[in-house]
Amino acid sequence: NVLLAGRLAVVTGGGSGIGRAICSIFAREGAKVAVVDLNKKSAEETLSLLPASTSDYRAYGTNVAISSEVTAMVSQVHEDFGEVPTVAVNAAGITKDNFLLKMDEQSFDDVINVNLKGTFLVNQAIGKVMSKASLPDCSIINIASIVGKCGNIGQTNYSASKAGVIGLTKTAAKELSRFNIRVNAVLPGFIDTPMTAKVPENVKQMIEMMIPVKRMGTPEEIAEVCAFLASTRSSYITGAAIEVTGGLNF
């Protein structure tokens, strides 16, 4: 009675936070998982948190912002598992916050490169193998953010990258539907992960007051939505940007 039996999922950013929770919940739902992260050690740590079967899960050290690394990873996954992935989740992401008037060009480029270009490269490389394989239902899930829709002080680079991911997702959905590939974006709100651990306590409390449900979300609350989107139960959802924010929309 599991949601993702027979699925092979590639999860970028799988070494931490939301990506790690996605790997765990996908494994619980019966998927095989390729855990991809810039930091191979943390991807391997994720493996150790998954159910006992070793052959169903593998770790890959990949920089999603580098085209050659992404294509090499996708063919390695294909070779290692002996099958084409039917699910991909793009959860790799970084922040380099500063006010617009103070932000240096490098911080802008770095965030766009990982969050937006990295998502593009993985959608393209995975889309190529999925479309060639003529499968009945594939699902690509791009983790954007509510700030891609609403903006957030100190995050011109990050909110631009996430707005870009939403646009990319909607176009990819239109182009890939003829190959039975659905593409959706998930827009988390304020989630308790290593990424938000650096937010000062008083700022956290202020944000929590703004959230209608009055608390941060957990990585698992994002991962559950991804599991639904990865499964055939969401077969009529594509090109959607789904907010998972406890009601927060600034």
Distance CA 166, CA 239 (A): 9
19 binds ligand NAD (CB under 6 A): yes
Tell me which stretch binds ligand NAD (CB under 6 A): 2-10, 57-65, 133-141, 174-182: 57-65
Among 2, 103, 133, 195, binds ligand NAD (CB under 6 A): 195
64 binds ligand NAD (CB under 6 A): yes
Smallest distance from the beta carbon of 77 to ligand NAD, in angstroms?
14
Tell me which stretch binds ligand NAD (CB under 6 A): 38-46, 80-88, 104-112, 127-135: 38-46
Instruction: Choose between 29 and 243: whose C-beta lies nearer to ligand NAD.
Output: 243
31 binds ligand NAD (CB under 6 A): no
164 binds ligand NAD (CB under 6 A): no
157 binds ligand NAD (CB under 6 A): no
191 binds ligand NAD (CB under 6 A): yes
- CA dihedral in degrees (34, 118, 129, 243; nearest 10)? 80
Among 3, 88, 94, 138, binds ligand NAD (CB under 6 A): 94
Q: Is-catalytic flag, 236?
A: no
143 binds ligand NAD (CB under 6 A): yes
Instruction: Choose between 64 and 173: whose C-beta lies nearer to ligand NAD.
Output: 64
Q: Which two tokens stand for residue 147?
A: 């700030």
Instruction: Choose between 4 and 38: whose C-beta lies nearer to ligand NAD.
Output: 38
Which residues are known to be catalytic? 158
Binding residues for ligand NAD (CB under 6 A): 12-13, 15-19, 37-39, 42, 62-65, 91-94, 114, 118, 143, 145, 188, 190-191, 193-196
